[in-house]
Amino acid sequence: MRTLDVLGYHTTYAGLEIIEDASLTIFVEDWSEVRSRARAERRRKRGFPQRIKYTEKPQPDIYRLGNKLVMHPETAAQIRRQVETTYTQKVDQMIAQTMFGMNTP
């Protein structure tokens, strides 16, 4: 169950409340179009414009505040996918073990 909050979406998992905050991003410089990074850095200090692309990416860090986890929505989606995959594998193993009496890797 999700409820919209000022910061983002709230979800709970294993007793921890997950707060999704879209403002948790980092700025990344892409130097792939410059001829020489050292030369471009020198020229940038002198005031010449360079062909550096600035992009914004989701921050992969997770912050814990008591029983709350604060993270970017894409990070939360990755965690949900991992939990779902692990949960599905465990359920399949339990079904195979109870029905057929065999252990699967």
Predicted confidence at residue 53, as pLDDT, reads 92
At residue 4, the pLDDT reads 43
Give the pair of three-digit tokens for residue 28: 């990344």
| pLDDT tens, residue order, the chain (105 aa) | 344 444 445 566 677 888 888 889 999 999 999 899 999 999 999 999 999 999 999 998 889 888 888 999 998 888 888 878 887 887 777 777 777 776 655
The pLDDT of residue 102 is: 63
Q: Three-state DSSP class for 103?
A: coil
Q: Quote the CA–CA distance of 49 and 47 in Å, as a whole number.
A: 6
Rounded distance between C-alpha atoms, residue 56 and residue 25, angstroms: 6
pLDDT score recorded for residue 1: 37
Question: Please, are residues 21 and 74 in contact by the beta-carbon 8 Å criterion?
Answer: no
